[in-house]
Homo-oligomer: A and B are copies of this chain.
């Protein structure tokens, strides 16, 4: 991976030969130096070419206020350089050491209920803390000065999973920072009072100093206060990144700077569309949720979303686990072959490197049961062998480096809409933001169709099919972008509880979905959420649960109506010709079969063809280089072999493929297409 900065003016560190990175987090401070020797030897054996170092080293690097100790790190970095292993050097600011929080307990975060969170875990600091910022920048600067020019430095790694554990802090320091942020956003109180709807429940503010974070209140909090607090919190964390990045850019020009995102189904606090604009390279951490035997579908969604925030360009998988993790209720181990499949899912969707947490499994501490490339049991283990096999495969397909993924289908996705969608006191607490986005993504994947995740305010005119799942809040700009695309010929699908409010969480009046009524040619007078376990049938045989609506056609045609339930006889699925395109609406939560069939109709309507014809559980995707070369990836998650139409050279085996490519059960193939 060449680490071309994804954004900004920083030049790449140095030209590098095409190679997909392989490696992981390396925490040498947990082991005595004799182990370091073994580490470097085994890294060479495994083909590790990039390690992240120093993530949790603050306590070892600054052992007391302004008392720095770099010698041990000099030693380790020297060994790595000598061995030709690339370095992703962390700024070590992820977790402040005990001496610092003991000096400044006001740095510690505070929960919504008012509980101070004490040291003993990690990342225990208030994101708005000026003390934290000051000390982090001192450390970051010292590291940059010392190591900017060492051999093998390929990447700077700011903090770690910023916002993990401490994304929302409700302390007095945060309150003061929130007020500053609000002054910047609104200018004056009149604007804030309007946006927050403080005319309700006697909440009107007369002085910025009266404003607090949405701490636990006697009743449901003001929803716009909550929404702005989430925006503020994401911005505060990002500001910490930017401050460190600026130091690094100044002291260490030419080395790209990243921080590892957490684009995954269970983290939602950071608006990564905004974050991606600030990093030189998008990198992401992804861990499978073990409870779901088909968790690979969530991986595929997250990988596509990561590529989306990376602007379509290559990105880096900064962390995943070579085996089981330790923080889920039941930490299911990977099945044989799963490590390769997961890794190739990421590569097929734009990753140019696969790194793991962590190199060597810890023997102590809270994460000792998190797998490492080098397990507790040593190298005579399946995990070690499959890791080496992965390195071999990455080399075999190294030519894909720098290529991109281009799709004709886009799903609109917005963290801010996620926050707004899942606020309290909504019609049904069963409506989950990710639900429809992931369901539609899965139906497309099962149909062999690639899909991008796009910001609602992006230019959508390049897409033939645009899906708008549960996009509860939208700006006027986003509405306009979608209309322009449909007028220009695209097909769109909007699902229920989309376009209901503006960015202030104010209802768009006159009938739902206010933002899209015109586009969709419908008017909804009332939501009809269903009771738990209830479901309804549609006139075309599909089933749905959770949500139906009292809908009127206002230009649209009915595709299917409800046969029973509270909206019997009322249209459930509609289609509306709009300019040169058409806009569909799904007013209910279709089950998996219904979702598949709807997606099939939309693909037909929009003329989008699959990458290749496969079957559910088999991923078929394509990367394309600027020079016209392309690669077909097949990842077979099923327990049956599969055949796929392909022409070219299969890179793992080196064999020519004429017409049909056979992929074993659980197997992976990559074809350079001709």
A residues lining the B interface (CB < 8 Å): 27, 29-30, 56-60, 63-64, 92, 94-99, 102, 109, 113-124, 164-166, 196-207, 209-212, 214-225, 290-291, 293, 323-324, 326-327, 329-333, 335, 361-369, 375-378, 380-383, 424-430, 504-507, 509-512, 523-532, 550, 566
Contacts and interface: CB of A to CB of B under 8 A. Distances in A.
Given A427-B326, A526-B323, A506 B363 contact: yes
A98 B205 contact: yes
Contact of A367 (B205, B225, B425): B425
Given A56-B200, A290-B531, 12 more contacts: A98-B203, A98-B206, A118-B216, A118-B217, A119-B217, A120-B215, A120-B221, A201-B365, A362-B507, A369-B527, A378-B509, A380-B525
A166 B60 CA distance: 37
A142 to B, nearest CB: 16
12 contacts: A30-B200, A115-B216, A117-B216, A120-B212, A120-B215, A165-B219, A224-B364, A331-B428, A375-B525, A376-B510, A377-B524, A383-B525
Contact of A29 (B30, B199, B220, B382): B199
Given A98-B210, A529-B332, A204 B378 contact: no
Contacts of A92: 202
A332 B382 contact: no
Given A121-B218, A200-B364, A366-B424, A63 B529 contact: no
Nearest to A226: B120
Which 6 A-B pairs have CB atoms at the shortest separation, nearest pair first? A197-B364, A121-B219, A200-B365, A121-B217, A95-B202, A165-B218
A207 B123 contact: no
Given A102-B209, A120-B225, A293-B531, A511 B376 contact: yes
The secondary-structure label for the interface of chain A is: loop
A523 B200 CA distance: 57
Nearest to A200: B365
Contact of A109 (B215, B218, B323, B525): B218
Contact of A56 (B121, B202, B380): B202
A526 B377 contact: yes
A327 B223 CA distance: 13
This chain's copy number in the assembly = 3
A443 to B, nearest CB: 25
B97 A223 contact: no
A505 B363 CA distance: 8
Contact of A526 (B121, B223, B381): B381
A224 B363 CA distance: 12
A198 B377 contact: no
A364 B507 contact: yes
A429 B330 contact: yes
B425 A330 contact: no
A56 B201 contact: yes
Contact of A202 (B96, B212, B509): B96
A332 to B, nearest CB: 6
Contact of A115 (B113, B122, B377, B429): B113
Nearest to A430: B330
A202 B57 contact: yes
A136 B402 CA distance: 68
Nearest to A369: B427
A470 to B, nearest CB: 15
Q: Which of A216, A331, A363 has the most CB of B within 10 A?
A: A363
A203 B427 contact: no
Contacts of A119: 203, 210, 212, 217
Contacts of A204: 59-60, 63, 97-98
B369 A120 contact: no
A566 B120 contact: no
A98 B366 CA distance: 41
Nearest to A327: B425
Contact of A527 (B199, B215, B333, B380): B333
B375 A326 contact: no
Most buried by B among A217, A507, A524: A217
Given A56-B200, A366-B425, A426-B326, A333 B98 contact: no
A365 B603 CA distance: 39
A88 B637 CA distance: 67
A215 B329 CA distance: 22
Contacts of A511: 376-378
A666 to B, nearest CB: 13
A597 B119 CA distance: 49
Contact of A30 (B199, B214, B509): B199
B509 A363 contact: yes
A381 B165 contact: no
B525 A381 contact: yes
Contacts of A530: 330, 332
Contacts of A382: 525-526, 550
Contacts of A27: 199-200
Contacts of A368: 197, 507
Q: Name which of A200, A210, A293, A528 has the most chain B CB atoms within 10 A of its CB.
A: A200
A140 B121 CA distance: 41
A349 to B, nearest CB: 26
A334 B619 CA distance: 45
B366 A201 contact: yes
A671 B54 CA distance: 71
Nearest to A336: B566
Contacts of A512: 376-377
Scoring A198, A376, A506, A509 by chain B CB atoms within 10 A of each residue's CB, the highest score goes to: A376
Nearest to A429: B329
Contact of A221 (B121, B198, B504, B524): B121
Contacts of A196: 364
B200 A121 contact: no
A531 B324 CA distance: 13
A447 B59 CA distance: 57
A511 B377 CA distance: 4
A382 to B, nearest CB: 7
Contact of A214 (B59, B120, B324, B376): B120
A531 B115 CA distance: 34
